Amino acid sequence: MKEAFGKLEQYHLLKKDPLVRQHLPHTTNYSKEQLDCFAQAHPVVFIKHNTSGQGRGVYRLAREEGAFYSLKGYSLQGEKIDQSMTLADVHKTLQPFERFGRTRPYIIQEGINSVTTDGQHVNIRVHVQRMDGQAIVGGMYGSTAHEENGITNMRRGADAMPMQRLLSRYLNVKPDEQQSILKQLSAVSISAANLIAHQYDCRECGVDLGLDKELKPFIFEVNITPGIGGFNKMDKRVWKQIIENRKKMSTSL
């Protein structure tokens, strides 16, 4: 089993590449001071547990009227959170044991408004595999979340779909522009995967990205133990190809 790869450690590693750096939302270690700073600087921010997965310990914080903010997401135990509160109460919710000297390792990240034309949150998973020493895109799909918390994890009810369907039907991207976006997604994901591979012994990874209102890709995070269930739901042919690639990778060890 691979060691836990912290999201903040990952962010600082990815920043080293000039191309990838342009596609990263501002991210830093969570603190009460940074919570105040990010909440003032951005209309939406995401707060994530540094090492959790499957959508646990991920929250979307958005401004409301006055001194109140909307906090939506899932606790580390998987419980749904949907409350309106002040920043002081947000901090108490995230760090309930701080007064005992125990704090949870969260990061705080600039929110990228990656949404469909009707407001559903969008995530793109690019599965990168290393074949004969070269990184290739084994598969790519889009997903949308129906809930307002912006968490597009498949375990939290997100719908997987082919990229052509996401771009055409949900983002209204013209056919002649789609190829350019797909190339950008592939190039950024491969560059990120190469950085990760040089630091960690991983032969494949899943890159999660969004598209801002200008359709510029932004990397949310990279998973070095990626599941492929979404590809099985989206297109079994792509899922089978990823499996075949894995077999070839194992025989080349």
Q: Per residue in 164-200, pLDDT tens?
A: 999 999 999 999 999 999 999 999 999 999 999 988 8
Residue with more model confidence, 5 or 18: 18
pLDDT for residue 55? 77
pLDDT for residue 149? 46
> Looking at the domain that runs over 121-251, which CATH code has it been given?
3.30.470.20
Provide the Cα torsion 168, 172, 177, 180; round to 10°: -70
pLDDT for residue 154? 52
pLDDT for residue 250? 76
Residue 22 has pLDDT above 70, yes or no: yes
pLDDT for residue 153? 54
Residue 156 has pLDDT above 80, yes or no: no
Residue 39 CB partners (closer than 8 Å, separation 6+) = 45, 61, 63, 69, 87
Residue 152 has pLDDT above 70, yes or no: no
Residue range 75-87: mean pLDDT, rounded: 92
Residue 91 has pLDDT above 80, yes or no: yes
pLDDT for residue 251? 73
Q: Quick: pLDDT tens for 109-148.
A: 999 999 999 988 899 999 999 998 899 999 999 999 765 5
43 close to 70: Cβ distance less than 8 angstroms: no
Mean pLDDT estimate for the chain: 90
pLDDT for residue 78? 84
Residue with more model confidence, 103 or 154: 103
pLDDT for residue 105? 96
pLDDT for residue 132? 87
Write the DSSP assignment of 2-16 as a string of letters. PPP--HHHHHHHHTT
59 close to 94: Cβ distance less than 8 angstroms: yes
Residue 3 has pLDDT above 60, yes or no: no
Lowest pLDDT segment from 131-140, 155-164, 212-221: 155-164
Q: What are the boundaries of each domain within the chain? A: 26-110, 121-251
Beta bridge partners of 49: 106
Residue with more model confidence, 169 or 157: 169
pLDDT for residue 53? 75
74 close to 80: Cβ distance less than 8 angstroms: yes
Lowest pLDDT segment from 4-8, 17-21, 72-76, 103-107: 4-8
The rounded Cα 2 to chain-centroid distance in angstroms is 19
pLDDT for residue 163? 96
What are 72's two structure tokens? 């939506």
pLDDT for residue 170? 94
